[in-house]
Amino acid sequence: MDPTTSSTPVVTTPDSSSSEFSSADFTIGRLFQQPNLEEKQAEEIAFLSLTRPSSHTDRPIGATLTWRDLSVYVTAPKAKGNVAPFKRVLNNVRGALQPGSLVALMGASGAGKSTLLNALACRCPPGVVVDGEIRINGRLIDRSFCDMSGYVYQDDIFVGSLTAREHLLFTARLKMSGNWTVHEQNLRVQELLTDLGLIKCQNVIIGEPGVTKGLSGGERKRLSFASQVLTDPPVLFCDEPTTGLDTFSAERLVMMLKDLTQRGKTVVCTIHQPSSETFAMFDRLVLLAEGRIAYQGSSSGALGFFESMGYTCPATYNPADFYVQTLAVIPGLEDTSRSTVRAICDRFIVTSTAKQIDLLIQFETSLGQEMLELSTKNGHQPVGLHQARWAIQFLWLVWRAFVDSYRNPAVHTLRILQKIAIALLAGLCFHGVLGTRDQKTIQNIQGALFILTTENTFPALYGALGIFPMEWPLFLRDARGGLYSPSAYYLSKVVALIPGYVVETFVFVTIAYWLMGLKPEAGAFLYSCWILIVTCNTAAACGTFFSAACESIAVAISFLIPFDYILFITGGVLISLSSLPEYVSWTKYLSWFLYTNEALSAVQWQNVTSIKCDETNFPCLHNGQEVMKHFSFDSSRFSVDITSMLFIYCTFHMLGLMAIVRRSRS
């Protein structure tokens, strides 16, 4: 049942002949005329819930969006005395938009356009309070509306190393997997690439403006738009979609939006300074001023309304510019401007257009009530589009992270070269000084082990700090848009980093271990590799936690430095563990430096039964056991050391995950 194709208008508005909303617009009201409402309930509940019908060819149906008594408050900057914690940015506004409308939401800067758009799209940032009713086809909107509507942001954020096709496929897998088969998803991606003129550049890397070359501004915008219309949402919100585009690209984009509305979609755009041609494509206009509605209705009707107030648009003027200028608060003329705005808004409320909007809102509200009763009676709950299962989210996020990683080979090559260089340097410094089993080599061997520990700790620890701050805006947008969960994202990042740490550690240890001349046994070497791989990942887990908990790399570093300093000191090499002061000795249990040193020492000194004693050396350590004891190490704790590191690894990741979940909600 498609309300946009219904043939029987059934509601007559008080002044339908001159109405902004013709009686034919009230197709939704036909439900009230059906004598056998019960028989229609299955269809109507589907209508109410806006769920995607079962087959690919059935598109989601159009939607009427209404809002009334809508006020939005934001947290005002705290003034001295904290008198007004909230500032009202939208003041008791109401309105209605019907399927098939291309709506321009305009007004001067600060009028409240983005705030209204976000409120209607159910995408207000945390801290913004929305008071009032917003309904979609009569039903009060909730979180599921966010999943079933599209939102094209003003600034496009992508993973720049993906191609246009890969980006769309990735988004399709996450957005559509609950309702579409993989084949249908692929078809939809192909269809959009073709329809939006992206076929030519489908295999071009998206790139990052100013950093790596990739898609043009217009192509990026179209790609962003394609991501949002993948699921064919009944309502699409666009925040300044033409900003940054030349006139031709802007017109092309608005034509695409227009095309959507011709298939029954509702498209709402905030828009700044459109050209006359672009503006003419919008069939409905909502003008905001000082958080109030100054006009709402057909674009053509706006000129007449302003004229009736004595504001005539000069013939050579772009009407869009004229409206915005008339409603702007001009610096130096604030009082006059505000009284003009007040007069226009007050006048609009009493026009017949405003009355018809009120009537439509009432119809929608009563329809919503009727449907709610029906669905409650039949046990049907309205549902939105299904989010992909957690495992699918995780797998595709890992895929994206790997693609991103191998498309930046220079970074990996550089890191491996750096590891090789440091391993050669460290290896050469210790070369030839560890071989003879005498008292001097004890210190040299412990020093070599400490170098292995630190070189596999600090690069991973500090290297992980950039993981989240660098991708935070992308993550927030995707997670809040319901594309994937913070846990899937966090764990995908962790998993994607593991192979790099394993390879880098293995390369480093292989070179350094043999060049230094540590215990020449394959078993000892492999054990050492294993210990250091765990160490490297534990250090990275710690860095990942600080990265997730802090808003920038600089803040993370300032917290991390004192933290790693303590761990470093209590690592068992710089100071004998038995002589640590009581009040600080507990920190050694948090130190993976200690666990690594102890485990590596156990491997090196195991089965060392005799160490030469020079008579000048006092005290003399005769065997491996005594060396271990001297450093307050215990070889029997080897498995405890490994388990403790794994425990620290898991704890840091749990804390990191909690931090990312908390921050994504705050």
Ligand X SMILES: Nc1ncnc2c1ncn2[C@@H]1O[C@H](COP(=O)(O)OP(=O)(O)OP(=O)(O)O)[C@@H](O)[C@H]1O
Q: Which residues sit at the interface with ligand X, rule CB under 6 A?
A: 74-75, 89, 107, 109-115, 125, 128
Report d(CA 423, CA 416) in Å as an integer. Answer: 10
Least distance (Å) between residue 88 CB and ligand X: 9
Least distance (Å) between residue 347 CB and ligand X: 21
**Residue with Cβ nearer ligand X (106 or 229):** 106
Report d(CA 46, CA 59) in Å as an integer. Answer: 12
Report d(CA 118, CA 105) in Å as an integer. Answer: 12
Least distance (Å) between residue 78 CB and ligand X: 11
Least distance (Å) between residue 264 CB and ligand X: 27
Pairing state of beta strands 235-239 and 266-270?
parallel
**Residue with Cβ nearer ligand X (166 or 239):** 239
**Residue with Cβ nearer ligand X (129 or 584):** 129
**Residue with Cβ nearer ligand X (3 or 107):** 107
Q: What's at 166, amino acid-wise?
A: E
List helix spans (H) across 125-210: 143-148, 164-176, 182-195
Report yes or no: 233 and 61 within 8 Å, Cβ to Cβ: no
**Residue with Cβ nearer ligand X (109 or 579):** 109
What separation, in Å, do the N-terminal and C-terminal C-alpha atoms of the chain show? 41
Q: Facing residues of 151 across strands?
A: 237
**Residue with Cβ nearer ligand X (94 or 173):** 94
- Each as own residue / partner, the long-range contacts of residues 276-281 (CB below 8 Å, 24 or more positions apart, any chain) are 276/318, 276/319, 276/320, 277/247, 277/251, 278/242, 278/247, 278/250, 278/251, 278/254, 279/104, 279/318, 279/319, 279/320, 281/102, 281/251, 281/254, 281/255, 281/257
Q: What share of the chain is helix, strand, coil (3-state, %, to 5)?
A: 60, 10, 30
Tokens of 572: 């068992």
Report yes or no: 149 and 120 within 8 Å, Cβ to Cβ: no
**Residue with Cβ nearer ligand X (153 or 530):** 153
Beta-strand ranges (E) seen in 307-449 are none
**Residue with Cβ nearer ligand X (111 or 172):** 111
In Å, what is the CA distance from 41 to each residue of 47, 171, 368, 373, 422? 10, 34, 13, 11, 73
Q: What residues have CB less than 8 Å from 179, skipping those under 6 apart?
A: 52, 231, 385, 386
**Residue with Cβ nearer ligand X (124 or 395):** 124
Least distance (Å) between residue 482 CB and ligand X: 21
Least distance (Å) between residue 603 CB and ligand X: 56
Least distance (Å) between residue 65 CB and ligand X: 18
Map tokens 């690594």 to a residue.
596
**Residue with Cβ nearer ligand X (273 or 351):** 273
**Residue with Cβ nearer ligand X (150 or 291):** 291
* CA nearest to 456, candidates 495, 415, 485: 415
**Residue with Cβ nearer ligand X (254 or 511):** 254
Report yes or no: 361 and 134 within 8 Å, Cβ to Cβ: no
**Residue with Cβ nearer ligand X (129 or 561):** 129
Least distance (Å) between residue 333 CB and ligand X: 18
Mark 222-244 as b/e (b = at least 16 C-beta within 10 Å): bbbbbbbbbbbbbbbbbbbbbeb
Least distance (Å) between residue 92 CB and ligand X: 15
Least distance (Å) between residue 328 CB and ligand X: 11
Question: Cα torsion for 127, 132, 138, 142, to the nearest 10°?
Answer: 20
Report d(CA 606, CA 352) in Å as an integer. Answer: 93
* CA nearest to 478, candidates 91, 222, 258, 153: 153
The SS3 assignment for 83 reads coil
* CA nearest to 388, candidates 153, 89, 185: 185
Strands lying side by side in the sheet with 139-140? 86-97, 65-75, 129-136, 139-140
Least distance (Å) between residue 576 CB and ligand X: 55
Q: What's at 207, amino acid-wise?
A: G
Least distance (Å) between residue 127 CB and ligand X: 6
Report d(CA 186, CA 191) in Å as an integer. Answer: 9
* CA nearest to 514, candidates 525, 503, 506, 527: 525
Q: Facing residues of 136 across strands?
A: 65, 139
**Residue with Cβ nearer ligand X (46 or 122):** 122
**Residue with Cβ nearer ligand X (111 or 205):** 111
Least distance (Å) between residue 118 CB and ligand X: 8
Least distance (Å) between residue 300 CB and ligand X: 23
Least distance (Å) between residue 507 CB and ligand X: 48
**Residue with Cβ nearer ligand X (110 or 132):** 110
Map tokens 């495992």 to a residue.
391
* CA nearest to 60, candidates 139, 140, 150, 135: 150
Least distance (Å) between residue 124 CB and ligand X: 8
